[in-house]
Amino acid sequence: MTTSLPSLSTLAAGLLALTLPVAMPRAASAVLDGSAPFLCAINTIMECDDTGTCQRHTTQQHPDFPSFLRINVREGMITGGDNSGRKTEIKSSTRLDGRLILHGGENGRGWSATIAEDTGRMTAGVVAADFTFALFGACTVP
């Protein structure tokens, strides 16, 4: 008994049909719950010193912050989206009331970020001995 192999175009069409039902629901249900890596854009930075004086910056004006952050909760890492090699470890993550809450710290500074799972709105804070930064932005699953 001989079996004929399907033509390449028939095989490709069959594979495409098999992948469509799987790919479509995943894209439609993508949320920022930490189950997949995501990208955040920082659009506003507020820098405040220990006297209470605050200044508003953009990432283009402040050299300490990249414009984009790549967040991978499963690997426990945040990296700068500017290929600078900057990174920080996520020490803890929690999902609470539709928000993904991340914490970490290094070099005598602590940080925390809250990301709305449904809209991607992000607010983060960096706290040191004599200054703070409040960061505002938006995140998306690429």
Q: What is the count of structural domains for the chain?
A: 1
In sequence order, the β-bridge partners of residue 111 are 104, 126
> What's the pLDDT score for residue 129?
93
Residue 22 lies in a domain: no
Provide the residue range defining the domain that includes 48: 38-140
Q: Which residues contact 31 (CB under 8 A, 6 or more apart)?
A: 117, 118, 141
Q: How far apart are the first and last CA of the chain?
A: 49
Residue 69 lies in a domain: yes
Does residue 43 carry a pLDDT above 80? yes
Residue 21 lies in a domain: no
Does residue 1 carry a pLDDT above 60? no
Rounded percentage of the chain residues whose pLDDT exceeds 70: 79
Residue 33 lies in a domain: no
| Secondary structure element (H or E) that encloses residue 123, with its range | strand 121-127
In sequence order, the β-bridge partners of residue 34 are none
> What's the pLDDT score for residue 23?
33
Residue 28 lies in a domain: no
> What's the pLDDT score for residue 113?
98
7 against 45, higher pLDDT: 45
> What's the pLDDT score for residue 20?
34
pTM (predicted TM-score): 0.74
For 59-107, the pLDDT digits (tens) are: 787 777 788 999 999 999 999 977 778 899 999 999 999 999 999 999 9
Residue 15: pLDDT band by 50, 70, 90 thresholds?
very low
